[in-house]
Amino acid sequence: MVQDEGLAEDITQEVFVTIFRSILSFNQQSSLSTWVYRITVNKCLDHLRTKKRQRLSLFSQLFQKSGEPFNEKTTFDHPGIQLEQRENARYLFKAIEELPHNQKTIFILAHIEELPQKEIAEIMNMSLKAVESVLQRAKGSLRKKLSVYYDRRKIN
């Protein structure tokens, strides 16, 4: 979700510290894995909100100083992607990064973490139908974004 291996490791540490501190408050209304995923998703979303605020602040500072917009490139390569697929993976993760938070989270949980939609519904505190709907919107958005990329590649 954060597209930075070092940051993901830091967040993982934060998650385990949170679990250690609050395990006694775990009420067993859901499975332990669902509870852990919920904590993880919340930690990631907290970081992304903070990062977005910092980026907007940095953007406004750079824009005011130089008169040119700031372009940040996504450099994350998912560990499961082979060398020859890295370029495609960058475009995919850049497109995922541009999705609204709910779509991004649900897409990652469904297609990268390969969780069942029922568990995603519990993690996201949504109905199964709502998860299915958001997932379909995410796929449609990604199809649209990635078709532009693939159309450009065919031309070049």
CA distances 23 to 32, 37, 38, 84, 133, Å, are 10, 14, 13, 42, 33
Structural domain for 156, as ranges: 75-156
- Shared domain for 84 and 142, answered yes or no, is yes
Same domain, 61 and 85: no
The pLDDT value recorded for residue 99 is: 92
Instruction: Enter the tokens of residue 10.
Output: 């830091």
Are 61 and 80 in the same domain? no
Identify the band that residue 131 occupies on the pLDDT scale cut at 50, 70 and 90: very high
pLDDT tens column, 17-45: 999 999 988 888 888 988 999 899 889 88
Instruction: Please name the helix (run of DSSP H) or strand (run of DSSP E) that holds residue 147, with its range, or none.
Output: helix 128-155
Torsion of CA 131, 133, 134, 140, to 10 degrees: 140
DSSP state of 152: H
Regarding whether 60 and 1 lie in a shared domain, the answer is yes
In terms of domains, do 49 and 94 share one?
A: no
Q: Using one digit for the tens of pLDDT, what is the confidence trace for 57-111?
A: 544 444 444 444 444 445 554 455 455 466 777 788 888 889 999 999 999 899 8
